[in-house]
Amino acid sequence: SQTIHQWPATLVQPVGSPLSLECTVEGTSNPNLYWYRQAAGRGLQLLFYSVGIGQISSEVPQNLSASRPQDRQFILSSKKLLLSDSGFYLCAWSVLGGLGDTQYFGPGTRLTVL
């Protein structure tokens, strides 16, 4: 069966510090991978998606970046965090099928920027 992991689970970082969040998927090959941010009281916001190694599409211009160094690994990074980067970050994977794009979410990372 497929499993998606995210780490760390929680993170507290000072403004201006770098960020690296990691997501890995097990039990599937060549998945589509996604990074979302969830703010309190708002719907999930798609940040990045990737259809293959080294292929990254950005949905929202900001100081975050994403990379996919391996087929089942997706990394979210920042060189300098802002207060507005605080939130709940979710990684998801999907494989295109008969019902469109069914996405499966990881457990999430709670990021607090102070």
Nearest to 41 by CA among 3, 89, 87: 87
Shortest CB 101 distance to other proteins, Å: 5
CA atoms in the 13 A half-sphere facing the CB of 71: 7
Closer of 77 and 108 to other proteins (Cβ): 108
Q: Which residues bind other proteins (CB under 8 A)?
A: 32, 34, 41-44, 46, 49, 51, 59, 88, 90, 92, 94, 99-108, 110
Closer of 46 and 53 to other proteins (Cβ): 46
Shortest CB 42 distance to other proteins, Å: 5
Q: How many residues does the chain have?
A: 114
Closer of 15 and 59 to other proteins (Cβ): 59
Q: 108 Cβ partners below 8 Å, 6+ apart? A: 6, 9, 38, 88, 89, 90
Shortest CB 11 distance to other proteins, Å: 13
Closer of 7 and 18 to other proteins (Cβ): 7
